[in-house]
Amino acid sequence: MEFKFKPIPPEFEIKNKIKQDSYLVNGNLKKWEGDFSPVFSSISSTEDYKPTFLGEIPSLGQKQALEALDSACSAFDNGKGLWPTMRVIDRIKAMENFVREMKEKRELVVKLLMWEIGKNHTDSQKEFDRTVDYIYDTIEAYKQIDRDSAKFQKHSGINAHIRRGPLGVVLCLGPYNYPLNETFCLLIPALIMGNTVIFKPAKHGVLLISPLMEAFKKHFPPGVVNILFGRGRVLATPIMESGKINVLALIGHSSSANSLQEKHPKKNRLRLVLGLEAKNPAIILPDADLNLTIKECINGALSYNGQRCTALKIVYVHKDIKDEFLKKFSNAVDQLKYGNPWEEGVKLTPLPEPNKPNYILDLISDAKEKGASIVNQKGGIQSQNYVYPAVLYPVTKEMKVYKEEQFGPVIPVISFSDLNTPLDDMAESNYGQQVSVFGKETERLGPLIDTLVNLVCRVNINSSCQRGPDIYPFTGRKDSAFSTLSVHDALRSFSIRTFVASKDNNENNEIIKDLLSSNNSNFISTDYIL
Ligand code: G3H
């Protein structure tokens, strides 16, 4: 009954299949005459389950990857290119023009988000709007950085004009769970700081880039943005092996980040901006407000079916409230509505990865074999593209679901009597992104917070883990991240401080004055961008 087929409402049908028959290189949407790969949605359009064909993308190879690399390198031109030497205000104008055109594509991009990755309608709309806001916030943050550097300093008889400059050529790879937002959170700051970029859309959530290709072509100088389609390994390997990449910007798994990093012949030249896996715990103390805790844990563990790096992926509950928690939590999980993304009030939606349901079932059976039970009634019920979320208890360290980042609908629960249990587990874990703590008594919370801030990078009090607001630092320890992302920090991550220095004497000062008044340099400027 959970998985009953419902016809697709006409307004959400994809009427025209998308054939993405070009890639963006050297400022041209270059027609592709070679092989194509089909793109399917795991959502069925017919009563007898069948993935829905959405369109096709080019299967580009090594030759096109190197073509995009040459294009990005020429546009940067060892720092001489139009884009890296352009005035800040002009790069901002290009970005404003791009985002204006991007907004016109909202409806189609939102629809493709639902079909390609199964994100519900509200969250798909949020992903689009949040990305647009991120672009505007980035522009404002860059203006502020620029205003702060629109001055000269003098120390020890040397005048200095210090700004932030681009790093060079960026390879940008985003994840399937936020194929628009997380990818653009790398791409946009990289671009606005004057870098040139090669970007490959995520494995799922790729066609939604098609409606934006023309805007990328139109609003950035040739070679500044290069967009490739195909398999990550085929395309990224030769690009990294060239040694010409200055920044690897990747949101995904540490195994991909490590293997790509390995391929770079001069690792010391490679800057990394990485958002990686996590296993954020919830720690529920005996005095926690259970209703609030359950609401937050449901959201934290099961928004977008738990396919978020920030999802709560393991729950530690104090033994004194374990029974009540398990009962209420399981009930709440079983109330969640499953359906296609456009259905009113759906929380649980089809999983986009065809092998994910089997992986989740494997985690469940491994845990059961090792002594856990499914606590909720609907847990583990399966269909061709889904497994109903299973609350597993008691989970132990031997189980796969304890060790692996499940990135899907299964919630392992452990009970504890000594707070050192979750703390020691977190210290031992490979991950260190965030934690949620539920409780009230400050005598217990205070010292706990003081330790937790040293194990992860965000401690959420009585609320689930999340990345936003995007103005706050988003990072992690150990295998969870490298560099910090936030609107402001991302601009720093994709740039370097570089400056012009001159001894304080009459000749030099006259030169500087002349440079300032003549506009002969785009770098030397005390113009104040409002
Ligand atoms: O997949 C990881 C995302 O950065 C999570 O972002 O907490 O806003 O869903 P979110």
HEC string of 205-262 equals CCHHHHHHHHHHHHHCCCCCEEECCCCHHHHHHHHHHCCCCCEEEEECCHHHHHHHHH
Q: What pLDDT, on the 0 to 100 scale, is given for residue 488?
A: 97
Please indicate whether residue 195, judged by its CB atom, sits closer than 6 Å to ligand 1. no
Pocket test of ligand 1: the residue of 123, 178, 253, 276 to mutate, having most ligand atoms within 8 Å of its CB, is 178
Assess contact for 131 and 181: CB atoms under 8 A.
yes
Q: Which atom of ligand 1 is nearest to the CA of 465?
A: 7
Please indicate whether residue 111, judged by its CB atom, sits closer than 6 Å to ligand 1. no
Q: Ligand 1: distance of its center to the CA of 178 in Å?
A: 8
- List of residues 6+ apart from 280 with CB closer than 8 A: 300, 310, 311, 312, 313, 314, 431, 433, 434, 435, 436, 456, 465
Question: How far, in whole angstroms, is CA 436 from its chain's centroid?
Answer: 20
Identity of residue 523: F
As averages over each run of 10 residues, the pLDDT of the chain (530 residues) reads 84 94 98 98 96 98 98 98 97 98 98 98 98 98 97 98 98 97 98 98 96 98 98 96 98 96 97 98 98 98 98 98 98 97 97 98 98 98 97 98 98 98 98 98 97 98 97 97 97 98 98 95 93
At 375-423, the pLDDT tens digits run 999 999 999 999 999 999 999 999 999 999 999 999 999 999 999 999 9
Question: How far, in whole angstroms, is CA 111 from its chain's centroid?
Answer: 19
Q: What is the pTM of this model?
A: 0.97
Handedness of CA 354, 356, 359, 364 (dihedral sign): negative
Length of the chain: 530
Q: Ligand 1: distance of its center to the CA of 166 in Å?
A: 27
Pocket test of ligand 1: the residue of 181, 407, 463, 466 to mutate, having most ligand atoms within 8 Å of its CB, is 466
Q: At what angle do helices 181-192 and 88-103 cross, to 10 degrees?
A: 150
Please indicate whether residue 308, judged by its CB atom, sits closer than 6 Å to ligand 1. yes
Instruction: Classify 313 as helix, strand or coil.
Output: strand
Q: Ligand 1: distance of its center to the CA of 199 in Å?
A: 20
Report the C-alpha gap between 467 and 474 in whole angstroms: 6
Q: What pLDDT, on the 0 to 100 scale, is given for residue 3?
A: 81
The phi-psi region of residue 305 (left if phi > 0; otherwise alpha if psi is between -120 and 50; otherwise beta) is: left
Q: What pLDDT, on the 0 to 100 scale, is given for residue 2?
A: 65
Assess contact for 524 and 515: CB atoms under 8 A.
yes
Q: What pLDDT, on the 0 to 100 scale, is given for residue 4?
A: 85
Report the C-alpha gap between 489 and 486 in whole angstroms: 5
Nearest CA to ligand 1 atom 6: 467
Q: What pLDDT, on the 0 to 100 scale, is given for residue 170?
A: 98
Q: Please provide residue 25's backbone torsions phi and psi, each rounded to the nearest 5 degrees.
A: -150, 140
Assess contact for 84 and 166: CB atoms under 8 A.
yes
Pocket test of ligand 1: the residue of 128, 250, 308, 485 to mutate, having most ligand atoms within 8 Å of its CB, is 308
State how far the alpha carbon of 284 is from the alpha carbons of 248, 279, 328, in Å.
Answer: 37, 16, 14
Please indicate whether residue 177, judged by its CB atom, sits closer than 6 Å to ligand 1. yes
Q: What pLDDT, on the 0 to 100 scale, is given for residue 1?
A: 47
Please indicate whether residue 469, judged by its CB atom, sits closer than 6 Å to ligand 1. no
Please indicate whether residue 204, judged by its CB atom, sits closer than 6 Å to ligand 1. no
State how far the alpha carbon of 152 is from the alpha carbons of 87, 136, 163, 516, in Å.
Answer: 18, 28, 10, 11
Instruction: Classify 47 as helix, strand or coil.
Output: coil
Please indicate whether residue 310, judged by its CB atom, sits closer than 6 Å to ligand 1. yes
Q: Ligand 1: distance of its center to the CA of 467 in Å?
A: 5
Identity of residue 345: G
Nearest CA to ligand 1 atom 2: 309
**DSSP state, residue 65:** H
